[in-house]
Structure 1
């Protein structure tokens, strides 16, 4: 099945954040990184903040009905502004210290990052995630960029491998999930 996808606009932000919050509800990383108290609300707000940053500095792709979303940042994207960083820190609450102390492999120099991808849980497995990621990758490929990502769900590794990523490292987070760091070399057009 072919899914119609497009670049997101600011008017898509709330709907896209809801999709990501639903998709990441049981995700190992977010369950580890976000406190259980008010988890759903914290998760949705974190997703909205990061999506807004990606919308302003990178590429956000959605399907026409906003059931799937993928966000990419270029290698020269600035860090989120101070207000956003403070709010994200507050949303992580007591987990912030563990996040700050975490050491994951560096993204290869000059690489874009696939920051997030999520699909409405009732539609997962229908190709929507592949469609939004592939559309973002196609844009990056036209610019000649490599792409890196991290995932904490072993099931995602196969999806990303189908899209040309290879696993560069596997990190076991103390008292947390396993993180798969993956890279995709620059694709020639």
Structure 2
């Protein structure tokens, strides 16, 4: 088990953003955020770039050495981390797109407060490699550290398929979906440390 990884840095931004664009350009949540194909092509990479910047600033990025998969994590402190700014987030990516602000607000509302935890913001795998266990292996190394340190983890699954993967890794659905208006549901999931 395990894939060779390294920590990504600022020099990896273009490669990681391109990978995330490929990995999520057909994802139901991305298609809800950017329903127009031209809008998706113009601005989806900017959204992925914003995630990259957030992870680099407040967490870390694990990149498989061959560039086939990446996981963006944030280290979330205890208490209300109320630095969320949905309107500012939208303005930095696609000011005319209200859905960016909407999804940012909804995910911020669902995000658990109170306990320090690691947040898997996004994980992307090259589309032709889906289903080969790379994503699970990439996450497992961080979860092993969480177990050793007694630290919980959190994520939002964007499909039932990804929810099932995360359940196999010990995450539990928190009981209430994030319902994107007229779009797909997302599944907030929490994992208590094991051991």
Under TM normalisation by the shorter chain, which class is it?
0.7 to 0.9
The root-mean-square deviation of aligned C-alpha atoms, in Å, is: 2.6
Structure 1 alignment gaps of length 5 or more: none
Q: Return the match for 1:105 from 107, 110, 135.
A: 110
Query: What is the aligned partner in structure 2 of residue 184 from structure 1?
Result: 191
Structure 2 alignment gaps of length 5 or more: none
2:43 paired with 1:28: no
Query: What is the aligned partner in structure 2 of residue 54 from structure 1?
Result: 55
Distance 2:161 2:94 in 1: 28
Distance 2:105 2:59 in 1: 27
Query: What is the aligned partner in structure 2 of residue 114 from structure 1?
Result: 120
Quick check: 1:59–1:136 contact (8 Å CA) kept in 2?
Answer: no
Quick check: 1:148–1:181 contact (8 Å CA) kept in 2?
Answer: yes
Query: Any residues of structure 2 matched to 1:31-180 within 5 Å, and which?
Result: 31-36=31-36, 37-76=38-77, 79=83, 85=89, 86-88=91-93, 90=95, 93-96=97-100, 98-99=102-103, 102=106, 105-110=110-115, 111-171=117-177, 172-180=179-187
Relative distance call for 1:54 and 1:98 in structure 2 (3 A) is closer
TM-score, normalization by structure 1: 0.84
Report the Cα offset of residue 101 of structure 1: 5.9
Distance 2:162 2:15 in 1: 23
Report the Cα offset of residue 107 of structure 1: 1.7
Aligned length: 186
Report the Cα offset of residue 106 of structure 1: 3.5
Relative distance call for 1:89 and 1:126 in structure 2 (3 A) is same
Report the Cα offset of residue 72 of structure 1: 1.1
